[in-house]
Amino acid sequence: MACTGIAANIAFNCNGTENNTGVQDTCVLFRWSEIDRGSSLFDVTNPIKLETIGAVSSPLVGYSYVSGLNAIRPGWEKVADGFNPNKFSHRLTLPIYGDTATKNYELTKLVGDKVVAVDFSNAETIHVYGWSSGLIVSQLTRDGVENEGSFQLILQSAEGISEPYPPFFYTGAASPEADFETLKAEILAFVV
């Protein structure tokens, strides 16, 4: 049986409920296998500034996961390893609201996929998680009563697999660095 990766966007659905109103929070996921790390460019003086994202085949396609109430919780931590000081575990927690057949199917396909996640912060920075090793679904739960009935999705570095850096900052290739809205539009242009 062949596993196909994610192939659709998952959007926040207000549905007129008061619990889900507020500021939207967006994360863009790319299939890890579709990013060409060799053709992607980094700042020559700072290796955690990602300037361009290359594609194995054109066009590179991103899939948006939209939540609400600033609910997407990105994070990372240093992994203890006496032999290699540069190991980091990346993690994003995404509550996904609404319950549809399409959304359930896409979340099921995401479980078998490996992704790179791009998050837009309120501090107007763009972070890239899972670049080197990818993120996998470590948890996907849904309780119809808890957390406003949302799915609780955790994407993180696989056990025993780590990243060589904290999450990258997407800065674009312009010099001086482009403003946040321009950079955000560059990433969202990948979304189908």
Residues of the chain with pLDDT under 50: 1, 16-24
Please give the span between the terminal C-alpha atoms of the chain, in angstroms, as a whole number. 26
- Altogether, the residues listed in the chain come to a count of 192
Q: Where are the domains of the chain?
A: 18-188
Question: What single letter denotes the amino acid at residue 142?
Answer: R
Strand 49-55 with 168-170, pairing: parallel
In which residue are the tokens 């994610």 written? 6
What's residue 14's pLDDT? 54
pTM across the whole model? 0.84
Residue 92 near residue 156, CB atoms below 8 Å: yes
CA dist 131 and 50 (Å) reads 10
In which residue are the tokens 């900052």 written? 169
What's residue 3's pLDDT? 61
At 37-73, the pLDDT tens digits run: 999 999 999 999 999 999 998 899 999 987 776 788 8
What's residue 106's pLDDT? 87
